């Protein structure tokens, strides 16, 4: 992700507290109140410029979505898109590091985690930073309802193979695995920015759905 310096980002974020939650820790355990309903809450960690999470919110009004991105300069692009889409009522954005999910969400507050084109961190000394490392799987488990799911898409075969092993070793059940999602594109597939970029170059898109099992 190319980062452009956007000196106006902080002020712009502060102008839209109804969409970009400034102090998300204050909402821990209170997200249903924030959305004003008890609909399931799905989060995307590493939401980037927001195309996926906004598209999902528009396509599925009976689900609440939270897009989480840790760079100001990137999340403001998602905020701009959300404003262009007239701020869907079932969407919130957080400028936040997914390392600290447990400080923002209570146990069992979330039903699904989306990971899309997560940074691959190819060097083995950076393995712990991969969003499908057991360290992160434990964090997601801590906030998901029993039977919660992870849905993951990537163009990176090595990261995909690593993730299949990591999720399986963690005891998760693989519900579906695709080695070429676009060969049989599901009707309800919402493209991410990276998915558009890589698939237009002819690269296969890998996808999996996995579910936590009772221990
Ligand atoms: N999901 C988008 C897509 O598919 O187009 C963006 C993919 S981009 C390669 C990965 C994004 O994840 C970057 O914007 C990065 O800043 C963000 N990211 C990586 N680690 C993160 C973390 N721990 N917490 C929040 N965001 C993170």
pLDDT per residue as tens digits for the range 95-133? 999 999 999 999 999 999 999 999 999 999 999 999 999
Question: For residue 20, what are its two tokens?
Answer: 């970009």
Ligand 1 atom index nearest CA of 47: 1
DSSP string, 133-201: SHHHHHHHHHHEEEEEEEEEEES-HHHHHHHHHHHHHTTPEEEEEES-GGGG--TTPPPPHHHHHHHHT
Of 110, 119, 121, 171, the residue nearest 144 (C-alpha)? 110
What pLDDT score does 6 carry?
82
pTM: 0.97
Q: What mean pLDDT comes out for the span 191-212? A: 97
Q: Is 42 helix (H, G, I), strand (E, B) or coil?
A: strand
Active site residue 119: yes
- Residue 159, φ and ψ in degrees, nearest 5: -65, -35
- Ligand 1 atom 18: the closest Cα is on which residue? 46
* Ligand 1, CB cutoff 6 Å, lining residues: 1, 45-48, 68-71, 74, 97-99, 116-119, 192-195
What is the reported pLDDT for 3? 60
Neighbouring residues of 158: CB distance < 8 A, sequence distance ≥ 6: 120, 122
**All domains in the chain, ordered by first residue:** 35-211 (3.40.50.150)
């Amino acid at each position: 992700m190319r980062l452009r310096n956007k000196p106006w980002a902080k002020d712009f974020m502060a102008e839209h507290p109804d969409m970009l939650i400034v102090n998300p820790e204050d909402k821990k355990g209170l997200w249903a109140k924030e959305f004003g309903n008890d609909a399931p809450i799905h989060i995307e960690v590493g939401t980037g410029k927001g195309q996926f999470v906004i598209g999902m919110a528009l396509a599925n009004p009976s689900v609440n979505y939270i897009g989480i991105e840790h760079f100001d300069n990137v999340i403001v692009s998602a905020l701009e898109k959300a404003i262009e889409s007239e701020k869907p009522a079932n969407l919130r954005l957080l400028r936040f590091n997914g390392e600290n999910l447990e400080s923002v969400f209570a146990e069992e507050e979330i039903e699904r985690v989306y990971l899309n084109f997560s940074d691959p961190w190819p060097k083995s000394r950076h393995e712990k930073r991969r969003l499908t490392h057991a360290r992160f799987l434990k964090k997601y488990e801590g906030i998901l309802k029993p039977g919660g799911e992870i849905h993951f898409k990537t163009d990176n075969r090595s990261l995909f193979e690593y993730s299949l092993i990591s999720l399986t070793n963690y005891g998760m059940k693989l519900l579906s695995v695709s080695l070429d999602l676009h060969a049989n594109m599901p009707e309800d597939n919402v493209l991410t920015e990276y998915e558009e970029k890589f698939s237009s170059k002819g690269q296969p898109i890998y996808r999996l759905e996995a579910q936590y099992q009772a221990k």
